[in-house]
Structure 1
Amino acid sequence: MGDFMDKAKDFADKHDKQVDQGIEKAGDAADKRTGGKYDNQIDKGVDTAQQRTGEGDTGR
């Protein structure tokens, strides 16, 4: 399992912009499905996830 996680982290580091865009799209889809009811919580989760991937937050 450790090897998989290392590869996933390497991918996220090398493709930070694409990973952040994917996280953003997932957050937008969740907002849409919930009718915006949990917008603040979803945005906070998206921001946190983007900060934890790659070299830096390239989203929002």
Structure 2
Amino acid sequence: MSDFMNKGKDFADKHDEQVDKGLEKGGDMADKRTGGKYDEQIDKGVDQAQARTGEGDQVR
């Protein structure tokens, strides 16, 4: 399992911009499905995930 995790981390490091955009899209979908009810929590989660996957650049 650790080999799989290492490959995932390597991918995220090499494709940081794509990962950040994917996280952003996921956050937007979650926000839409909840009708904006959890907007702040979703944004915070997306920001934290982006920070862990690399630069954490804000796409918004």
TM-score by length of 2: 0.94
- Find the counterpart in structure 2 of residue 15 from structure 1: 15
Q: Deviations over 1:3-22 (max 9, x none)?
A: 00000000000000000000
- Find the counterpart in structure 2 of residue 57 from structure 1: 56
| 4+ runs deviating over 6 angstroms | none
Equivalenced residue count is: 59
Identity level (%):
73
Query: Where does structure 2 lack aligned partners over 5 or more consecutive residues?
Result: none
Alignment RMSD: 0.7
Give the drift of 1:59.
Answer: 2.7
2:30 partner letter:
A
Query: Where does structure 1 lack aligned partners over 5 or more consecutive residues?
Result: none
Give the drift of 1:57.
Answer: 1.2
Q: Deviations over 1:1-57 (max 9, x none)?
A: 000000000000000000000000000000000000000000000000000002x11
- Find the counterpart in structure 2 of residue 41 from structure 1: 41
TM-score by length of 1: 0.94
